[in-house]
Amino acid sequence: MKFSFHLITLVSVALCGIVHAAPAPLCDRTNGLCGDIAARDVADSMMADDLVARAAKKAANAKIQRQAAPKVERKVKAFTKQANKTPAPAAKVKAQANKLRQSEKGRVATQARKDNKAAKKQAWAAAGNRATTTKNIQAVQKKQGQKPQKKAAKQAANNKIQQKAAAGINTKVKNWREKEKAAGGYMPRVNILADKMRGKEKERALTQARKDRKADRGKQWGAKANSPAQKAATKAAAAGRRQERQRNGAPSPANQAKLAKNVKPTKQEKKNVKDRFQAARQKYGQTQGMPGRGQTATVGPNSASGREVRNSVFNSYLHQKNPIGMQRLPKKFNNDPYSPTHGTLANQRPLPATARKLKEYPVIKGSPNGWTGNGPVGALRTVTYKNGGRRNAAVIGHDTSPARGGNADDHYVATVTRELESDMEDFE
């Protein structure tokens, strides 16, 4: 029994020795972090991620201390020099110098944390300002895009009113001309006055239509008006709700909704929007390679007018600081070379190989202000880039026709042609 007990003891000691003699893991460029982890007790619940974060923080603090060390030592040296002039013991001066050194190191670390926190706060504020500015820019662009639509709708409504009144106007003008002709009036003068009369009658028809619409709306609102008893009941109910809110200290929901609806941009927000538009306009004016407004850019079956391409280039510059939409556009354009089996374009790139800062943005057909973050992005893209210190732009698209070869992911630069109608207009 005694032999068995000693045998068990020896085996246990041997096993413990094997476990503690296990080789530590290799260092993985974390300043000996793996060795620290291996040396910890197995029961320690600290995770490796936490240790990595601590090691990074320790390295950052060490860097700050190294940068501030010359200044701290100069301060300690000045203090020591001044203290040595007093009759204080050398040991006491040395202790005070060490205490000053530690105090300065702590102050440097505290100031670094404050500066880091302030920098983060400033970065968050800048990001918020960029988001607010982009939101305001999109609101401006939406309003700009609605103006032509409202103008076209108003013109269509006016044309309809004038067409409806045209028969009566023509009859009135004709009768007046016949009367003047019978009276022996001078016909050239009569014709001029007849044209003026026709224009005035058309304006009178529009004015009368506006008055009629206003009268109809007044009748509709009058029909919806409450009776005196209903008005009194509504007023009493509103007074009861007001008293209840005053007792509870609750705000008025109507006022809150009105305030939320009528929130206006501040002067600084308006200035940010203006600055962004001016910066985009400046870059747009420096850009080369854009087609003329009367030209057409074509890639395969897809085409766009020069005006639409220019809208896209301007919007690309306008939203570069804070990309918009689910696709986060403008985004980086990959100027990848064609495959070696592409034929004449093998191993070449759509744009110059020396191009830098390539950004792509959608080209939208039929839109007065281009793509503003919503809706489909279309088939064509404008790519803005820098080459040789100059700003350039190109229209890019996909072409899967057999004549091109390659594959569906290849990009091709658009061919630019001038429309026949535009040429004819120039000669007219």
Report the Cα–Cα distance between both ends of the chain, in Å, rounded. Answer: 122
CB atoms closer than 10 angstroms to residue 7: 10
Query: What three-state secondary structure class fits 136?
Result: helix
d(CA 379, CA 365): 10
**Plot region of 272 (φ>0 → left; ψ -120 to 50 → alpha; else → beta):** alpha
Question: Which pLDDT tens digits describe the chain residue by residue (428 residues)?
Answer: 444 545 555 555 555 554 444 444 444 554 554 555 544 544 454 455 566 677 777 787 788 878 878 888 888 888 787 777 777 777 777 787 788 888 888 888 788 877 777 777 666 566 567 778 888 888 888 777 777 878 888 888 888 888 888 888 889 888 888 888 888 888 888 888 888 988 898 898 889 988 988 988 888 888 888 888 888 888 888 888 888 888 887 777 766 666 666 667 788 888 888 889 999 999 999 999 899 888 999 988 888 999 999 999 999 999 988 888 888 899 999 988 888 877 778 888 889 989 999 999 999 988 888 888 888 888 899 999 999 889 999 999 888 777 776 677 788 888 888 764 444 333 33
Structure tokens at 339: 């495959």
d(CA 304, CA 414): 10
Structure tokens at 73: 């030592």
For residue 304, what are the β-bridge partners?
297
Helices (H) and strands (E) in the chain, counts: 10, 9
Whether the model clears a pTM of 0.75, i.e. scores above it, the answer is no
For residue 194, what are the β-bridge partners?
none
